[in-house]
Structure 1
Amino acid sequence: MAERYEIRFSGAGGQGLITAGIILAEAAAIVEKRHAAQSQSYGPEARGGASKSEVIISDGPIDYPKATIVDACLAMTQESADKYANGIKQGGILLIDTDFVKNEPQGDFKTYKMQITRTAKEELGREIVANVVALGAMIALTGVVSREAGETAVLAKVPEAFVDLNKKAYALGFEKGKALLA
Protein backbone atom coordinates (compact mmCIF):
# COMPACT_ATOMS: atom_id res chain seq x y z
CA MET A 1 0.00 0.00 0.00
CA ALA A 2 1.25 3.48 -0.86
CA GLU A 3 2.16 5.89 1.93
CA ARG A 4 -0.88 8.13 2.56
CA TYR A 5 -0.84 11.41 4.51
CA GLU A 6 -4.03 13.28 5.41
CA ILE A 7 -4.18 16.97 6.35
CA ARG A 8 -7.26 18.96 7.36
CA PHE A 9 -7.35 22.77 7.30
CA SER A 10 -10.30 24.17 9.26
CA GLY A 11 -11.54 27.60 10.23
CA ALA A 12 -14.20 30.11 9.28
CA GLY A 13 -15.44 30.53 5.74
CA GLY A 14 -13.55 33.40 4.13
CA GLN A 15 -10.23 32.73 5.92
CA GLY A 16 -8.70 31.18 2.80
CA LEU A 17 -8.32 27.66 4.12
CA ILE A 18 -9.87 26.08 1.03
CA THR A 19 -7.21 27.95 -0.97
CA ALA A 20 -4.51 26.70 1.42
CA GLY A 21 -5.65 23.13 0.80
CA ILE A 22 -5.62 23.62 -2.97
CA ILE A 23 -2.11 25.10 -2.79
CA LEU A 24 -0.86 22.15 -0.71
CA ALA A 25 -2.41 19.65 -3.15
CA GLU A 26 -0.76 21.49 -6.06
CA ALA A 27 2.60 21.50 -4.24
CA ALA A 28 2.38 17.72 -3.94
CA ALA A 29 0.88 16.88 -7.34
CA ILE A 30 2.26 19.51 -9.71
CA VAL A 31 5.57 20.44 -8.10
CA GLU A 32 6.58 17.12 -6.50
CA LYS A 33 4.79 14.83 -9.01
CA ARG A 34 3.03 12.82 -6.29
CA HIS A 35 -0.60 11.81 -6.01
CA ALA A 36 -2.94 14.25 -4.26
CA ALA A 37 -6.66 14.74 -3.75
CA GLN A 38 -8.31 17.80 -2.23
CA SER A 39 -11.88 18.14 -0.97
CA GLN A 40 -13.73 20.85 0.87
CA SER A 41 -16.90 21.55 2.78
CA TYR A 42 -18.54 24.68 4.09
CA GLY A 43 -20.98 25.16 6.91
CA PRO A 44 -24.46 26.33 5.87
CA GLU A 45 -23.40 29.92 6.61
CA ALA A 46 -20.48 29.75 4.08
CA ARG A 47 -18.66 32.99 4.95
CA GLY A 48 -18.09 33.03 8.69
CA GLY A 49 -19.31 29.49 9.39
CA ALA A 50 -16.99 26.55 9.95
CA SER A 51 -15.32 25.26 6.80
CA LYS A 52 -12.69 22.67 6.07
CA SER A 53 -10.38 21.57 3.32
CA GLU A 54 -8.83 18.13 3.32
CA VAL A 55 -5.78 17.06 1.36
CA ILE A 56 -4.67 13.49 0.83
CA ILE A 57 -1.10 13.05 -0.39
CA SER A 58 0.21 9.66 -1.45
CA ASP A 59 3.09 8.03 -3.26
CA GLY A 60 0.60 5.90 -5.19
CA PRO A 61 -2.97 6.16 -6.50
CA ILE A 62 -5.56 7.42 -4.00
CA ASP A 63 -8.53 5.09 -3.83
CA TYR A 64 -10.63 7.21 -1.43
CA PRO A 65 -10.39 11.02 -1.67
CA LYS A 66 -11.71 11.89 1.81
CA ALA A 67 -9.76 12.00 5.06
CA THR A 68 -10.38 8.97 7.28
CA ILE A 69 -7.55 9.09 9.83
CA VAL A 70 -6.15 12.62 9.92
CA ASP A 71 -2.37 12.93 10.34
CA ALA A 72 -2.42 16.70 10.86
CA CYS A 73 -5.13 19.30 11.46
CA LEU A 74 -5.15 23.09 11.53
CA ALA A 75 -7.90 24.82 13.55
CA MET A 76 -8.16 28.59 13.11
CA THR A 77 -11.36 29.10 15.15
CA GLN A 78 -12.98 27.55 18.23
CA GLU A 79 -15.93 26.32 16.18
CA SER A 80 -13.64 24.59 13.69
CA ALA A 81 -11.56 23.08 16.51
CA ASP A 82 -14.69 21.70 18.16
CA LYS A 83 -16.08 20.38 14.88
CA TYR A 84 -13.03 19.17 12.95
CA ALA A 85 -10.21 18.36 15.39
CA ASN A 86 -11.69 14.89 15.78
CA GLY A 87 -10.29 11.86 14.06
CA ILE A 88 -6.65 12.96 14.42
CA LYS A 89 -4.61 9.79 14.58
CA GLN A 90 -2.59 8.78 17.62
CA GLY A 91 0.65 10.74 17.52
CA GLY A 92 -0.78 13.14 14.92
CA ILE A 93 -0.52 16.93 14.87
CA LEU A 94 -2.96 19.71 15.75
CA LEU A 95 -2.01 23.35 15.11
CA ILE A 96 -4.31 25.92 16.70
CA ASP A 97 -4.55 29.70 16.36
CA THR A 98 -4.37 30.62 20.05
CA ASP A 99 -6.09 33.97 19.54
CA PHE A 100 -9.32 32.19 18.56
CA VAL A 101 -9.08 28.66 19.99
CA LYS A 102 -9.34 29.01 23.77
CA ASN A 103 -10.62 25.52 24.66
CA GLU A 104 -7.91 23.23 23.36
CA PRO A 105 -9.22 19.93 21.96
CA GLN A 106 -7.91 16.90 23.83
CA GLY A 107 -6.64 13.70 22.28
CA ASP A 108 -3.67 11.43 21.81
CA PHE A 109 -1.95 13.88 19.45
CA LYS A 110 0.62 16.68 19.72
CA THR A 111 -0.86 20.19 19.88
CA TYR A 112 1.14 23.16 18.65
CA LYS A 113 0.02 26.70 19.46
CA MET A 114 0.64 29.77 17.35
CA GLN A 115 -0.86 33.24 17.04
CA ILE A 116 -1.40 32.81 13.31
CA THR A 117 -3.79 35.67 12.55
CA ARG A 118 -1.99 38.09 14.88
CA THR A 119 1.35 37.18 13.27
CA ALA A 120 -0.03 38.00 9.81
CA LYS A 121 -1.53 41.27 11.05
CA GLU A 122 1.36 42.51 13.18
CA GLU A 123 4.42 41.21 11.34
CA LEU A 124 3.18 41.55 7.76
CA GLY A 125 0.52 44.24 8.15
CA ARG A 126 -2.12 42.11 6.40
CA GLU A 127 -4.44 39.70 8.20
CA ILE A 128 -5.56 38.36 4.81
CA VAL A 129 -2.36 36.28 4.47
CA ALA A 130 -2.98 34.35 7.71
CA ASN A 131 -3.87 31.32 5.56
CA VAL A 132 -0.43 31.41 3.90
CA VAL A 133 1.28 31.83 7.29
CA ALA A 134 -0.71 28.79 8.51
CA LEU A 135 0.18 26.80 5.38
CA GLY A 136 3.89 27.52 5.88
CA ALA A 137 3.65 26.42 9.51
CA MET A 138 1.78 23.22 8.61
CA ILE A 139 4.36 22.30 5.97
CA ALA A 140 7.16 22.93 8.49
CA LEU A 141 5.44 20.83 11.17
CA THR A 142 4.56 17.91 8.88
CA GLY A 143 7.27 17.85 6.22
CA VAL A 144 4.60 16.44 3.89
CA VAL A 145 6.04 18.48 1.01
CA SER A 146 9.33 20.34 0.77
CA ARG A 147 9.59 24.00 1.78
CA GLU A 148 10.47 24.83 -1.84
CA ALA A 149 7.47 22.95 -3.29
CA GLY A 150 5.15 24.81 -0.92
CA GLU A 151 6.61 28.18 -1.84
CA THR A 152 6.48 27.41 -5.57
CA ALA A 153 2.79 26.45 -5.30
CA VAL A 154 1.95 29.56 -3.24
CA LEU A 155 3.64 31.91 -5.70
CA ALA A 156 1.98 30.21 -8.69
CA LYS A 157 -1.45 30.82 -7.13
CA VAL A 158 -1.29 34.49 -6.11
CA PRO A 159 -1.70 37.61 -8.29
CA GLU A 160 1.56 39.29 -9.36
CA ALA A 161 0.92 42.31 -7.11
CA PHE A 162 0.88 40.06 -4.01
CA VAL A 163 3.85 37.78 -4.73
CA ASP A 164 6.23 39.50 -2.28
CA LEU A 165 3.65 39.63 0.53
CA ASN A 166 2.77 35.94 0.12
CA LYS A 167 6.42 34.91 -0.15
CA LYS A 168 7.08 36.68 3.17
CA ALA A 169 3.94 35.17 4.74
CA TYR A 170 4.91 31.65 3.71
CA ALA A 171 8.52 32.06 4.93
CA LEU A 172 7.34 33.55 8.23
CA GLY A 173 4.88 30.69 8.82
CA PHE A 174 7.49 28.10 7.90
CA GLU A 175 10.08 29.60 10.27
CA LYS A 176 7.56 29.84 13.13
CA GLY A 177 6.50 26.24 12.47
CA LYS A 178 10.13 25.08 12.63
CA ALA A 179 10.56 27.05 15.87
CA LEU A 180 7.59 25.16 17.37
CA LEU A 181 9.40 21.88 16.66
CA ALA A 182 12.62 23.06 18.34
Structure 2
Amino acid sequence: MNRTRLVFSGSGGQGVITAAIILAEAAVIHEGMNATQSQSYGAAARGGATRSDIILSDNEINFPVVTQPNILVCLTQEAYTSFAPIIRPGGTLLTDSRFVQTTKKVDARQIELPIYDSVMEKIGKPIVFNISVLGVLLGITPLVRDESLLAVIKERVPKDFIGLNTDAFNLGLSIGRGYFSN
Protein backbone atom coordinates (compact mmCIF):
# COMPACT_ATOMS: atom_id res chain seq x y z
CA MET A 1 0.00 0.00 0.00
CA ASN A 2 1.34 3.38 -0.86
CA ARG A 3 -1.52 5.69 0.11
CA THR A 4 -5.20 5.06 0.74
CA ARG A 5 -7.74 7.82 1.25
CA LEU A 6 -10.98 6.87 3.00
CA VAL A 7 -14.17 8.65 3.93
CA PHE A 8 -16.53 7.13 6.51
CA SER A 9 -19.90 8.85 6.40
CA GLY A 10 -23.22 8.43 8.14
CA SER A 11 -25.13 10.07 10.95
CA GLY A 12 -24.33 10.92 14.54
CA GLY A 13 -24.74 7.93 16.82
CA GLN A 14 -23.60 5.35 14.25
CA GLY A 15 -20.02 5.34 15.50
CA VAL A 16 -18.53 6.66 12.25
CA ILE A 17 -15.87 8.73 14.03
CA THR A 18 -15.01 5.97 16.49
CA ALA A 19 -14.55 3.50 13.63
CA ALA A 20 -12.26 5.92 11.80
CA ILE A 21 -10.15 6.52 14.90
CA ILE A 22 -9.80 2.78 15.53
CA LEU A 23 -8.66 2.19 11.94
CA ALA A 24 -6.15 5.06 12.03
CA GLU A 25 -4.74 3.93 15.38
CA ALA A 26 -4.38 0.34 14.14
CA ALA A 27 -2.38 1.61 11.15
CA VAL A 28 -0.08 3.84 13.22
CA ILE A 29 0.40 1.87 16.43
CA HIS A 30 0.43 -1.68 15.12
CA GLU A 31 1.43 -1.37 11.45
CA GLY A 32 4.02 1.41 11.62
CA MET A 33 2.21 3.46 9.00
CA ASN A 34 1.45 7.16 8.89
CA ALA A 35 -2.19 8.18 9.24
CA THR A 36 -4.35 11.25 9.54
CA GLN A 37 -7.93 11.30 10.78
CA SER A 38 -10.29 14.25 10.85
CA GLN A 39 -14.02 14.63 11.25
CA SER A 40 -16.90 16.94 10.64
CA TYR A 41 -20.45 16.65 11.85
CA GLY A 42 -23.70 18.54 11.84
CA ALA A 43 -25.10 20.54 14.74
CA ALA A 44 -27.10 17.60 16.07
CA ALA A 45 -24.97 15.18 18.08
CA ARG A 46 -27.28 12.29 17.23
CA GLY A 47 -28.85 12.00 13.83
CA GLY A 48 -26.88 14.80 12.17
CA ALA A 49 -24.58 14.17 9.22
CA THR A 50 -21.13 12.86 10.15
CA ARG A 51 -18.00 12.42 8.06
CA SER A 52 -14.57 11.22 9.01
CA ASP A 53 -11.59 11.34 6.66
CA ILE A 54 -8.64 8.98 7.02
CA ILE A 55 -5.42 8.81 5.04
CA LEU A 56 -3.19 5.75 5.51
CA SER A 57 0.27 5.86 3.99
CA ASP A 58 3.70 4.28 4.07
CA ASN A 59 5.10 7.77 3.42
CA GLU A 60 4.75 11.20 4.98
CA ILE A 61 1.32 12.82 4.62
CA ASN A 62 1.64 16.49 3.70
CA PHE A 63 -2.01 17.30 2.99
CA PRO A 64 -4.45 15.67 5.43
CA VAL A 65 -7.67 16.42 3.53
CA VAL A 66 -9.47 13.74 1.51
CA THR A 67 -10.96 15.20 -1.67
CA GLN A 68 -11.32 11.99 -3.70
CA PRO A 69 -11.40 8.87 -1.54
CA ASN A 70 -10.20 5.49 -2.80
CA ILE A 71 -12.67 3.98 -0.34
CA LEU A 72 -16.00 5.55 0.58
CA VAL A 73 -18.25 4.09 3.28
CA CYS A 74 -21.82 5.47 3.33
CA LEU A 75 -24.11 4.37 6.15
CA THR A 76 -27.06 6.67 5.39
CA GLN A 77 -28.88 7.76 2.26
CA GLU A 78 -27.92 11.38 2.93
CA ALA A 79 -24.24 10.44 3.11
CA TYR A 80 -24.50 8.47 -0.13
CA THR A 81 -26.25 11.31 -1.94
CA SER A 82 -23.68 13.82 -0.70
CA PHE A 83 -20.45 11.87 -1.12
CA ALA A 84 -20.87 9.26 -3.89
CA PRO A 85 -19.88 11.82 -6.55
CA ILE A 86 -16.47 12.43 -4.94
CA ILE A 87 -15.17 8.86 -5.07
CA ARG A 88 -11.93 8.37 -6.97
CA PRO A 89 -12.47 6.55 -10.29
CA GLY A 90 -11.84 2.85 -9.77
CA GLY A 91 -12.38 3.15 -6.00
CA THR A 92 -14.58 1.13 -3.68
CA LEU A 93 -17.98 2.32 -2.42
CA LEU A 94 -19.36 0.34 0.55
CA THR A 95 -22.97 0.83 1.62
CA ASP A 96 -25.37 -0.89 4.00
CA SER A 97 -28.34 -2.23 2.05
CA ARG A 98 -30.81 -1.42 4.84
CA PHE A 99 -30.05 2.29 4.96
CA VAL A 100 -28.83 3.12 1.44
CA GLN A 101 -30.36 2.60 -1.97
CA THR A 102 -27.64 3.10 -4.55
CA THR A 103 -28.97 5.09 -7.46
CA LYS A 104 -25.95 6.89 -8.84
CA LYS A 105 -23.71 5.54 -11.53
CA VAL A 106 -20.18 6.01 -10.25
CA ASP A 107 -16.89 4.79 -11.66
CA ALA A 108 -16.25 2.58 -8.63
CA ARG A 109 -16.86 -0.92 -7.37
CA GLN A 110 -20.16 -0.59 -5.48
CA ILE A 111 -20.61 -3.09 -2.67
CA GLU A 112 -24.01 -3.21 -0.97
CA LEU A 113 -24.19 -5.57 2.00
CA PRO A 114 -26.75 -6.25 4.77
CA ILE A 115 -24.37 -5.31 7.57
CA TYR A 116 -26.88 -3.81 10.01
CA ASP A 117 -29.42 -6.60 9.51
CA SER A 118 -26.68 -9.19 10.07
CA VAL A 119 -25.60 -7.46 13.29
CA MET A 120 -29.17 -7.41 14.57
CA GLU A 121 -29.79 -11.04 13.60
CA LYS A 122 -26.54 -12.50 14.97
CA ILE A 123 -25.61 -10.14 17.82
CA GLY A 124 -28.77 -8.16 18.58
CA LYS A 125 -26.99 -4.94 19.60
CA PRO A 126 -26.94 -2.04 17.12
CA ILE A 127 -24.19 -0.29 19.10
CA VAL A 128 -21.56 -2.54 17.45
CA PHE A 129 -22.70 -1.80 13.87
CA ASN A 130 -19.64 0.42 13.31
CA ILE A 131 -17.25 -2.34 14.40
CA SER A 132 -18.92 -4.76 11.98
CA VAL A 133 -18.46 -2.18 9.22
CA LEU A 134 -14.73 -2.14 10.03
CA GLY A 135 -14.70 -5.92 9.77
CA VAL A 136 -16.41 -5.79 6.38
CA LEU A 137 -13.91 -3.18 5.23
CA LEU A 138 -10.96 -5.40 6.17
CA GLY A 139 -12.72 -8.35 4.56
CA ILE A 140 -12.89 -6.58 1.20
CA THR A 141 -9.59 -4.67 1.28
CA PRO A 142 -6.37 -5.36 3.20
CA LEU A 143 -5.85 -1.97 4.88
CA VAL A 144 -4.35 -3.36 8.09
CA ARG A 145 -4.03 -6.82 9.61
CA ASP A 146 -7.07 -8.15 11.46
CA GLU A 147 -5.07 -8.57 14.66
CA SER A 148 -3.96 -4.91 14.54
CA LEU A 149 -7.53 -3.71 14.49
CA LEU A 150 -8.58 -6.17 17.19
CA ALA A 151 -5.71 -4.95 19.39
CA VAL A 152 -7.00 -1.36 19.17
CA ILE A 153 -10.55 -2.51 19.89
CA LYS A 154 -9.26 -4.21 23.04
CA GLU A 155 -7.39 -1.04 24.03
CA ARG A 156 -10.29 1.37 23.41
CA VAL A 157 -13.42 -0.57 24.37
CA PRO A 158 -14.48 -1.02 28.01
CA LYS A 159 -13.47 -4.46 29.30
CA ASP A 160 -17.06 -5.71 29.61
CA PHE A 161 -17.70 -5.02 25.91
CA ILE A 162 -14.56 -6.48 24.32
CA GLY A 163 -16.26 -9.82 23.57
CA LEU A 164 -19.27 -8.14 21.98
CA ASN A 165 -17.07 -5.92 19.81
CA THR A 166 -14.80 -8.82 18.86
CA ASP A 167 -17.87 -10.81 17.77
CA ALA A 168 -19.09 -7.82 15.74
CA PHE A 169 -15.71 -7.41 14.06
CA ASN A 170 -15.51 -11.11 13.20
CA LEU A 171 -19.07 -11.04 11.83
CA GLY A 172 -18.15 -8.11 9.58
CA LEU A 173 -14.96 -9.83 8.47
CA SER A 174 -17.00 -12.89 7.51
CA ILE A 175 -19.50 -10.77 5.56
CA GLY A 176 -16.71 -8.94 3.74
CA ARG A 177 -14.79 -12.08 2.84
CA GLY A 178 -18.03 -13.79 1.84
CA TYR A 179 -18.68 -11.04 -0.69
CA PHE A 180 -15.92 -12.39 -2.91
CA SER A 181 -17.16 -15.98 -2.76
CA ASN A 182 -20.58 -15.08 -4.18
Alpha-carbon distance, 1:103 to partner: 3.7
CA distance in 2, matches of 1:84, 1:149: 28
Distance 2:130 2:115 in 1: 8
Offset of 1:38 from its aligned partner?
0.3
Gaps of 5+ in 2: none
Does structure 2 retain, via aligned residues, the 8 Å contact 1:4–1:56?
yes
Partner of 1:151: 150
Q: Which amino acid aligns with 1:3?
A: N
Is the contact made by 2:115 and 2:175 (CA closer than 8 Å) also made in structure 1? no
Output the CA distance in 1 between the equivalents of 2:90 and 2:63.
22
Identical counterparts, % of pairs: 40
Shift of 1:68: 2.3
Please say which of residues 84-93 and 120-129 is displaced more in the overlay: 84-93
Residues 134-173 of structure 1 mapped to structure 2, 5 A cutoff: 134-173=133-172
Q: Secondary structure at the match of 1:86?
A: helix
Cα pair 1:8 1:72 within 8 Å, conserved: yes
Whole-angstrom CA distance in 1 between matches of 2:104 and 2:169: 26
Amino acid at match of 2:98: D
For 2:75, the equivalent position in structure 1 comes to 76
> Which ranges of 4 or more aligned residues in structure 1 deviate by more than 6 Å?
none
Q: Which residue pairs with 1:129 in the alignment?
A: 128
Are the aligned partners of 1:136 and 1:174 in contact in 2 as well (CA < 8 Å)? yes
Secondary structure of the residue aligned to 2:63 is coil
Where in structure 1 are there 5+ consecutive unaligned residues? none
Q: Which residue of 2 aligns with 1:90?
A: 89
Kindly report the root-mean-square deviation, in angstroms, between the aligned alpha carbons of the 2 structures: 1.3
TM-score of the pair, normalised by structure 1 = 0.95
1:113 positional shift? 1.0
Task: State the 1:45 CA deviation.
Answer: 2.6
Q: How many residues align?
A: 181
* Partner deviation per Cα, 1:118-148 (whole Å, 9 max, x = no partner): 1111110101100000011112212111111
**SS across alignment from 1:37:** strand
**Alpha-carbon distance in structure 2 between the residues aligned to 1:134 and 1:105:** 22
1:66-115 CA-to-partner distances (Å, cap 9, x unmatched) read: 11220111111101111122321111101111111124332000011111
What TM-score, normalized by structure 2, do the two folds share? 0.95
Q: Secondary structure at the match of 1:10?
A: strand
Letter of the 1:42 counterpart: Y
